[in-house]
Structures are given as C-alpha cells and as structure tokens.
Amino acid sequence: MSGAKALMNSLEKEGVDIVFGLPGGANLPIYDALVDAKFRHVLVRHEQSAAHMADGYARIKRKAGVCLATSGPGATNLITGIATAYADSSPLIAITGQVPLNMIGKDAFQETDIIGVANPCTKYAFQPRYATEIPEVVKKSFYIAESGRPGPVLIDIPKDVQQDVTEIPFPDLIKVRGYKPIVDPDLSNVGKAVELLVSAQQPIIMAGGGVILSGAFSELQAVAELIMAPVVTTFKGKGAFPENHPLAMGPIGMHGHAEANRIILEADCILAVGARFSDRSVGRFDEFGKGMNIIHLDIDPAEIGKNKSVDIAIVGDVKSALRTMAKMLSKVAVKKNTENPWLKRRRELIDYFSQNIKDYPREVTARKALKKLRELLPAESIVTTEVGQCQMWTSLHFDVISPGTFFSSTGLGTMGFGFPASIGAKAARPDVHVVDVAGDGSFNMTENSLAVSVLENLPVIVFLLNNDMLGMVAQWQRTFYDRRYMGVHQKSCPDYVKIAEAYGASGFSVQSMDELEKAIKSALKTEVATVIDIRIDPEEDVYPFVAPGTGLKDMITGA
C-alpha cells in the first residue's frame, strides 16, 4: 500500500466524509489516491478558504474538519485559516504536501518549513518520515485536535513518503505520553463553587466558547435556572445560551450589549464557564471582577490565572462539570422567585438601554436589517459573520435562539472567514439554512468561494451589510483620529450583484425594507447561493463601545 493510500484509509477510519483542498506538485500522490477515496473532495479556489471551510464544518459538526494543500505557497496560504482555528480552539486537520525527504533543507522548489511557520498556531505538527507512520500519525492528530481544548494539527507529508509502497499497519490504540487532557473535574472544587453560588445574592454566569465546544447547552441552562442567575456570554460564547431566554443578557465586551456590560459590574459572584477573560470581553484585567467572587471553569489548566486570578478554579470538561454542578445544586439551591431584586434589576437595565439606542435616519440600517433577518429566518438556521461592524452588529442585534447555531472568527478576527466557513457549515448541516452576515470588505477577500458554493451545491446566503467602507476601521478613524479617513473607501467596486451572477449565484440589491424582506424570502427558497447586497449608511456606528485600554464601566453607548 502507498503512503497516500494509507492516508485515505486512515481518514476513512476517522469517519471523515469531506475534505477541502487544492492540489499541487508535492501532494499529487495524495490527489491520485483521492480518486478512489470513499469521502468527498471539495476543490477550493484558494487554500485559505479550504482551511476556513474545514473550520466552519468542524464548528458545526463538533469534530475535526480536514483541509489539504500542496507544499510552499499552498501550505502558507493555509496559515491564516490555521491561525484562525487556533485562536478559536477549533479542531482542524491540515494536511500539506512537502518536498521529498532528501530535498528538505536544500531550499528546493516550493519548499517551506511549514512546521516552523505553523508552530505558534497549531496544537501539534507531525512530519511522518516513513509511510508506515502515517496511520498512527493520523490517529494521533485527530485525538490531539479533538480532545481537551481542541485546536488545529498539521500533518506535513514529504512526497516520497506519500509514494512509498510498503506493508502499512493500522494501530487500534495510540498513546501520546506527553498529552494528558483533564476531563473529570475535581469534585471538591465543584462543591465549593456550589456553596458560593448558593450564598450569592447577585450571581451571574459568563458563558464562553467552551460551552459551545463541549455542547453543554442544557447543562448550562439547568445551572442558570437553579440559581436564577442572569447569563451573559463572551462574543465567542454567543448562542451558548438561548438569547430569548428570560435569564439571557447577551454578549459582554468591547461591543457587548449595554445591559450585559452593566450587570456584570454589579454581580457579587461570577461563574465563568469555558471563557478565558480576554481583553475584548472584560476590558481591563485589573479592574474586572473587583470585589466579586470568581469561579472559573475551563478545560485548559493554563487558562486558570492567565489573565485573571480567581477564587475557585475547576479544571475539566465543561459539560460534565456543569452536569455535576446542576446535580449538587438541585439538592441545595432554594428556588428563587423571578421577582427577586436581582432579576428585577436585570429587567430594569434591559428596559433602560432599549430606550437608549442611537438610530439613523435611513430606511435600512444594519440593526433593522438584522432584526428582519431574525424574524424571517428559522430558529435552527446557522449564522456566521465576517469581521468588522457587520460582525458586531450581528452580536448586538441578532438573537441566537437555538444554542450552538452561531459562530464567528472571534479570536483572530479574520476578514474573509465567514463566507467559506459558512460553506463548510452547510456541508456539515445541509438540512438547514446557513447565513453569512458579511461586510463588503471582508466578502471581497474570499468571494471566489462562490464558485465552490455553486459548483458543489452548498448554497448559503450572504447577507451583505454594504456600507462601501472598511467600516470598522472608518469608525475608529472617526472616533480616535478626528475623521482623517485613510484607506477605508471601497468606492462601490465591485458590483456584488454582478459578482454573484458571474459565478452563477443569485444576487439582489436592496435599498428598502420591502425589498429586503422579498430578497430574504426568495433566498430562503432558492437552491443556489444568494448574495443580498444591502446598502446602509457609510457612517452608521457600532455602539456601545468599550474603548481599548478602558474598563467595562467606561462604556460609551452613543445615544
């Protein structure tokens, strides 16, 4: 059996049903073996998009997505996608071709030390040197990528190793002795946390991406309801908790919901679940959480105390820890009524801030468009975003109802992520609608994935909030640089409806709410990718805003 064939068999054994990639000289043997593989290959138009597609697939399937590229430029093109997955703890397997072993280190044609390049943004990287190692390497890669705190793993396979024909064993069991993800939480710490939570008068839950990664939705809801704690999320955790739930407060952070940013300052005890206290979420580390008891539950021990020292740390799988916590709580928690002062305060803040929203004198604003989308889109649809104002508006104005149906490039903030990732999500869940809420600048970066969406029959909706601007940058220039605009104007180029049509997708240009409603309804019916080009005010700002280097208390609401 050849190394490449062993690779295919190994991927099949891992249950892979789709891979995203693009061939080249150094992975030709892999592509030859793909002809007979049992899973689907999706040809991309740029390797970055292959990584984003595999990432989007992984985030919805909650198992590793796979992307392929050749050596050198193919491999380096993957890097933005790998770094994006790393920043958001997404399980990704990137398989690159490499120059033959005897050429490594000779600066051969299309040789890049991709292991060196990828090191800071992968959980691990392998370079099998014998074809016989391939099955073991693949098995280890999936294990490492998917377990503990998930993340990307690179497999860099020299061409001659792909070609080698030899007897290749397939191991049933593998062991990685230096890798010991902690799964079972320390029960005594869970007990202490329960005591603290029960005695707190103003408890709050901060749910992060870890809740989504472990699929701990019902467990989180159970704990929240037992202690009647309002639930805020980080941006990565958006949709970890149904945003129409009576305890939901939405995301906190730089562009968090005003009421969420406010209530968290008033809490006396915070249960942070699968969250990492990022600067984007909590503002200043030194200010955040002063005078509160902090309970931190996370699967990654290195997150404990990294940004914030805490009172009780629980290391383990979020789902099993919350389940245990709910069990303990159900024995001791006294059912609080919904009229208690803390929940009244929650209502008060929501009412106050809902009256204090800056509006724009234009028929279609980002806010109104997103509310309309929510109204028309079935709850179980999957929504992702690009990066910039479009992303933050989605966080603010689009409520995720069905847990785990929202994701975005939150850690790295990669423009161009959303569209290919939505195609990957569609591959994972062909039965539901998938929408990418896009900005014009971001969509422009990976719009060539329209070819993939159309040809591979993976239709998604691009909900393009077109301000003809690199809007988020423009907002900062408006706010912090005295409106001295530089490098932000898109000058109505290209015409996105024509772009859609050029690829065989459908496109709508929208100027009124009426047209928007029609376009959404039609997109939900068609079988082909649709770009809805929604013209909005180039100066519509995102508020609230917690400026960098300031604390949540310094939030500017803009109203």
Partner 1 sequence: MSSRELKSKPLYIISSLVENKPGVLFRITNLFRARNFNIESITVGITEKPDLSRMTITTRIDEAILDQLVKQLRKLIDIVEVEVLDINNTVYRELALIKIRAKDFTNRNEIINFANVFRANILDIGKESVTVEVIGTPDKIDAFKNLIIQYDIVEMARTGVSALQRGE
Question: What's the rounded Cα separation, in Å, for the pair 432 and 345?
Answer: 37
> By C-beta, is 241 or 463 nearer to ligand TPP?
463
Q: Which of 13, 39, 110, 490 is catalytic?
A: 110
487 binds, among Mg ion, partner 1, ligand TPP, none (CB under 5 to 8 A by kind): none
| Partner interacting with residue 533 (select from ligand TPP, Mg ion, partner 1, none; CB below 5-8 Å by kind) | none
Residue 179 binds which entry of partner 1, ligand TPP, Mg ion, none, with Cβ cut-offs from 5 to 8 Å by kind? partner 1
> ∠ at Cα 114 (11, 182), nearest 5°?
60
Nearer to ligand TPP, 128 or 388 (CB): 388
If one asks whether residue 124 binds partner 1 (CB under 8 A), the answer comes out as: yes
Select from 215, 301, 413, 558 the one that contacts partner 1 (CB under 8 A): 301
110 is catalytic: yes
Among 136, 160, 300, 501, binds partner 1 (CB under 8 A): 300
Q: How far apart are CA 108 and CA 88, in angstroms?
A: 34
Q: Is residue 133 involved in binding ligand TPP (CB under 6 A)?
A: no
Asked whether position 178 contacts partner 1 by CB under 8 A, the answer is yes
**Contact partners, residue 249, CB within 8 Å, separation at least 6:** 230, 231, 232, 257, 259, 260, 263, 346, 350
325 in catalytic set:
no
Question: x/- string (CB under 8 A) for partner 1, residues 125-164?
Answer: -------------------x--------------------
Active site residue 109: yes
Q: Mapping DSSP to helix (H, G, I), strand (E, B) and coil, where does residue 315 land?
A: strand
Out of 3, 242, 441, 551, name the contact with ligand TPP by CB under 6 A: 441
Q: C-beta of 488: minimal distance to Mg ion in Å? A: 9
| Nearest of 553, 101, 7, 15 to residue 284 by alpha carbon | 553
The count of residues interacting with ligand TPP (CB under 6 A) is 19
Active site residue 456: no
Among candidate residues 5, 61, 139, 159, the one labeled active-site is 159
Q: Does 395 bind ligand TPP (CB under 6 A)?
A: no
Q: In the range 82-121, which residues lie near partner 1 by CB under 8 A? A: 115-116, 119-120
Q: Closest Cα to residue 151, out of 160, 159, 142, 139?
A: 142
Which of 68/366 has CB closer to Mg ion?
A: 366
Q: Which of 189, 271, 263, 257 is nearest to 227 (CA)?
A: 271
Nearer to ligand TPP, 277 or 463 (CB): 463
Query: Which SS3 state, helix, strand or coil, does residue 68 take?
Result: strand
Residue 387 interacts with which of ligand TPP, Mg ion, partner 1, none, CB < 5 to 8 Å by class: ligand TPP
Residues whose CB is less than 8 angstroms from the CB of residue 25 and which lie 6 or more positions away in sequence, other chains included: 70, 71, 97, 109, 110, 159
Nearer to ligand TPP, 100 or 413 (CB): 413
What's phi and psi for 292, nearest 5 deg? -110, 155
Q: Are 488 and 469 in contact (CB under 8 A)?
A: yes
Q: How far is the CB of 417 from ligand TPP (least distance, A)?
A: 8
Q: Which of 14, 47, 225, 303 is catalytic?
A: 47
Q: Which does 144 bind (CB under 5 to 8 A by kind): partner 1, ligand TPP, Mg ion, none?
A: partner 1
Q: Residue 192 carries which side chain, given as an amino acid letter?
A: K
Beta pairing, strands 65-69 & 40-43 = unpaired
Q: Is 13 a catalytic residue?
A: no
Checking phi first, is residue 358 left (phi over 0); if not, alpha (psi -120 to 50) or beta? beta
Describe the strand order of the beta sheet including 434-439 as a list of residue ranges.
406-407, 382-385, 434-439, 461-466, 530-535, 506-510
Cβ-based burial of 106 (10 A; exposed 0-12, middle 13-18, buried ≥19) = exposed
Among 179, 352, 480, 485, the residue binding partner 1 under the rule CB under 8 A is: 179
Query: What are the respective helix, strand and coil percentages of the chain, to the nearest 5?
Result: 45, 15, 40
Nearer to ligand TPP, 34 or 472 (CB): 472
Give the residues across from 466 on adjacent strands: 535
Applying CB under 8 A, the residues found at the interface with partner 1 are: 115-116, 119-120, 123-124, 144, 176-179, 300-302, 304-306, 309
Catalytic machinery residues? 47, 109-110, 159, 472
